[in-house]
A and B are shown apart, each in its own frame.
Chain A
Amino acid sequence: MTVGAKRAAQALAVALVAALLGLLVWKVAHGSGKTSEPENFTLSRLDQPGKLELASLRGKVVVLNFWASWCVPCKEEAPEIEKLWQQFRSRGVVVVGVDSKDATEDARSFMRRYGITYPVVHDGGGDLWGPYGVTGVPETRLISRTGKFAPTQFAGAVKAADLRAGIEQALRT
């Protein structure tokens, strides 16, 4: 191998490593859910026909509750979240259930069983987990009226009192 070819191969290897590092940094920055603004989504609804776009809820406090029908703690919190939805819906708060990594008919059966009436979208592959920093179900995130993430993130079954306090705080900001 000539000196020129060796230099070119070394430069190519360095460029490749730099590109991979850049990709890693980009992935960490955009995929961890640590950004202040949530990524917009448009997903099919399970509670009624059609789709729901997050951006259409701008101006309201959004409670995003990630759940699945196979998740045991989700059964505990579902009735509490429904109560809070009934309590706050007239005050500019929308609860959106994000059914994740779940089959639609199992999800609908769960919704009937626990009397869920708030909008629910289907994210069968769990594609929102990365952008929203979700690591499992159930998890709940709050989005302010201005479309920014509220600082509090509830991992595991959320206690009604904690979520109520979070919503009140988001309504004040």
Chain B
Amino acid sequence: MRAAAAVLVVTVALLVAVPARASEKHPTLAELEGEVMCLVCATTLDQSHSPFAERERALIRRLIAAGYTKSQIKDRLVAEYGEEILAAPPQHGFNLIAWVLPIVGVIAAGVVLGWLAWRWSHGRKEPPTPKPPGAPPLDPELERQLDAELARFDG
């Protein structure tokens, strides 16, 4: 069973890794269009047909034809237009905050929700009803009758 699971994991990893490597070495315009921005329209390139977008597409086509890898194309676009050209911020330096902050936020929200749930479930115990001051103790005979009545209901 364990061996089968390991084979499955390795197969899935290979299925994911092989296209990723192929995409890095031989990128297509279609996949890059979703990963870079049209600076004039503030949308990803695949959403725009503005003159700027058409020029950007032409540049990407030229770079693909020249044999550039996906990373090299992105580096060239950054050199031309700055980091704003990337749809997702790079995972280093100050931009790392954009990647880390959502995860930290989700974890913090989970902790807060868990704490609130714990408090809600443990902190709502009804305080014992205090005996009214000065109430006389129950007559032993009455108490016996009450127990008998209750036992009858339970039975």
Residues on A lying within 8 angstroms of B by beta carbon are 68-72, 101-106, 124-127
| A127-B59 in contact (CB<8A) | no
Q: Which of B51, B54, B81 contacts A124 (CB 8 A)?
A: B81
Interface of A is mostly: loop
Give the 7 A-B residue pairs with the shortest CB-CB distance, closest first.
A125-B82, A70-B51, A124-B81, A70-B55, A101-B39, A103-B80, A124-B80
Residue of B whose beta carbon sits closest to that of A129: B39
Count B-side interface residues using an 8 Å CB cutoff.
Answer: 15
Give, as a whole number of angstroms, the nearest-CB distance from B60 to chain A: 10
| A68-B52 in contact (CB<8A) | yes
| B82-A124 in contact (CB<8A) | yes
A124 to chain B: which residues have CB within 8 Å? 79-82
Q: What are 19 pairs between A and B in contact, CB < 8 Å?
A: A68-B52, A70-B52, A70-B54, A70-B55, A72-B51, A101-B40, A101-B52, A101-B81, A102-B55, A103-B59, A103-B80, A104-B80, A105-B59, A106-B55, A124-B79, A124-B80, A124-B82, A125-B82, A127-B82
Give, as a whole number of angstroms, the nearest-CB distance from A86 to chain B: 28
A70 to chain B: which residues have CB within 8 Å? 51-52, 54-55
A126 to chain B: which residues have CB within 8 Å? 39
CA distance A124 to B76 in the complex (A): 12
Identify which of A68, A70, A102, A106 gathers the most chain B CB atoms within 10 Å of its CB: A70
Give, as a whole number of angstroms, the nearest-CB distance from B148 to chain A: 48
CA distance A127 to B84 in the complex (A): 10
Is B36 interfacial (CB-CB < 8 Å)?
no
Contacts of B77-94 to chain A: CB distance below 8 A: 79-85
| B51-A71 in contact (CB<8A) | yes
Identify which of A72, A105, A124 gathers the most chain B CB atoms within 10 Å of its CB: A124
A104 to chain B: which residues have CB within 8 Å? 80
Q: Which of B40, B55, B82, B84 contacts A103 (CB 8 A)?
A: B55
A106 to chain B: which residues have CB within 8 Å? 55, 59
CA distance A125 to B59 in the complex (A): 15
Give, as a whole number of angstroms, the nearest-CB distance from B45 to chain A: 13
Give, as a whole number of angstroms, the nearest-CB distance from B55 to chain A: 5
Residue of A whose beta carbon sits closest to that of B59: A103
| A125-B52 in contact (CB<8A) | no
Give, as a whole number of angstroms, the nearest-CB distance from B124 to chain A: 15
A68 to chain B: which residues have CB within 8 Å? 52
B82 to chain A: which residues have CB within 8 Å? 124-125, 127
Give, as a whole number of angstroms, the nearest-CB distance from A78 to chain B: 16
B51 to chain A: which residues have CB within 8 Å? 70-72
Give, as a whole number of angstroms, the nearest-CB distance from A13 to chain B: 15
| B39-A125 in contact (CB<8A) | yes
Contacts of B45-81 to chain A: CB distance below 8 A: 51-52, 54-56, 59, 79-81
- Given A101-B39, A101-B40, A125 and B81 contact (CB-CB distance below 8 Å): yes
